């Protein structure tokens, strides 16, 4: 039995990081990920790349019902070993956001959470194999800095050179961007607008018709890891829940 989809509920852009059983804030368990994909398949959801979401917004087209975008931040190797086989099994596509200079290395860039387990990242050969399957590659900068806290000249290099290196390595255009830590300001956004057709924020919610393609909302998988909550995708109840969680985030930010 298919879940009811409310008209005008928007398009969910889901954020995953590492697919593992470590129970960290960036971890989605193998079981949860498979259950998520099983649910999407059982409910006849169509996966779209983020570049297609951007095209929908730019052309002011209605958001298609039962569509979902899967994104993976940072480029953990577990995406290749754990998520990629499941995506292939169901014929799903996705968008990778790569920390370009750390491909083939580990997640030990400056500023990463000390509580996170050191983990390997995708090699370029793995990236290219996934790209051949139809999974697109977007930029998450060269080295994952907070772009609002570095000199504009360095920020420009992080943004532009990451795009160029992805395109050189894959032979495919890289048109979408994800702000590290979800942080941006007017200057950073202006740079991103110069080189990419769209960008993701970390604000919680669905992408709706008329949204700014450079501050697209997403749904972090941590908030929907439980399959019962995940099954509420594109429903009013989940929208209210995400709105409340976003409000709490903003209150915490104001307090610091």
How many structural domains are present in the chain? 1
Q: Is residue 6 part of a domain?
A: no
Residue-number span of the structural domain to which 86 is assigned: 13-255
Q: Is residue 46 part of a domain?
A: yes
Residue 136 Cα distances to 20, 94, 149, angstroms: 22, 7, 28
CATH code of residue 170: 3.20.20.370
Cα angle, residue 56 at apex, residues 53 and 61 outer, rounded to 5°: 150
Q: What is the pLDDT of residue 241?
A: 93
Residues of the chain with pLDDT under 70: 1-8, 256
Whether 66 and 52 have beta carbons less than 8 Å apart is answered as no
Residues whose CB is less than 8 angstroms from the CB of residue 113 and which lie 6 or more positions away in sequence, other chains included: 25
Q: What is the pLDDT of residue 113?
A: 85
Q: Is residue 7 part of a domain?
A: no
The whole-angstrom separation of Cα 81 and Cα 98 is: 16
Q: Is residue 4 part of a domain?
A: no
pLDDT digits (tens, 9 = 90+) for 196-221: 999 999 999 999 999 999 999 999 99
Q: Is residue 29 part of a domain?
A: yes
Q: Is residue 2 part of a domain?
A: no
Q: What is the pLDDT of residue 101?
A: 98
Percent helix / strand / coil, the chain, rounded to 5: 45, 20, 40
Q: Is residue 76 part of a domain?
A: yes
The whole-angstrom separation of Cα 216 and Cα 214 is: 6
Q: What is the pLDDT of residue 23?
A: 87
Q: What is the pLDDT of residue 158?
A: 98
Q: Is residue 5 part of a domain?
A: no
Axis-axis angle for helices 152-170, 124-132 (nearest 10): 60
Q: What is the DSSP letter of 215?
A: S
């Amino acid at each position: 039995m298919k879940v009811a989809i409310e008209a005008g509920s928007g398009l969910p852009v889901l954020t995953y990081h590492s697919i593992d059983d470590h129970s960290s804030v960036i971890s989605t368990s193998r079981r949860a990920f498979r259950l998520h994909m099983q649910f999407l398949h059982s409910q006849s959801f169509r996966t779209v790349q983020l570049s297609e979401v951007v095209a929908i917004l730019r052309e002011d087209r209605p958001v298609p019902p039962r569509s979902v975008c899967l994104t993976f931040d940072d480029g953990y190797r577990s995406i290749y070993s754990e998520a990629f086989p499941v995506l292939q099994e169901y014929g799903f596509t996705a968008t990778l956001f790569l920390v370009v200079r750390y491909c083939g290395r580990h997640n030990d860039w400056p500023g990463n959470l000390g509580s996170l387990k050191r983990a390997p990242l995708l090699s370029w050969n793995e990236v290219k194999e996934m790209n051949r399957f139809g999974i697109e590659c977007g930029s998450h900068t060269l080295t994952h800095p907070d772009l609002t806290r570095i000199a504009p000249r360095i920020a420009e290099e992080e943004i532009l050179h990451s795009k160029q290196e992805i395109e050189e390595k894959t032979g495919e255009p890289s048109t979408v961007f994800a702000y590290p830590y979800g942080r941006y300001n007017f200057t950073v956004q202006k740079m991103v607008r110069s080189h990419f057709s769209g960008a993701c924020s970390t604000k919680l919610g669905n992408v709706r018709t008329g949204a700014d393609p450079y501050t697209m909302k997403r749904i972090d998988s941590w908030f929907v890891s439980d399959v019962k909550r995940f099954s509420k995708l594109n429903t009013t109840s989940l929208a209210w829940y995400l709105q409340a969680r976003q409000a709490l985030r903003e209150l915490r930010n104001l307090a610091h």
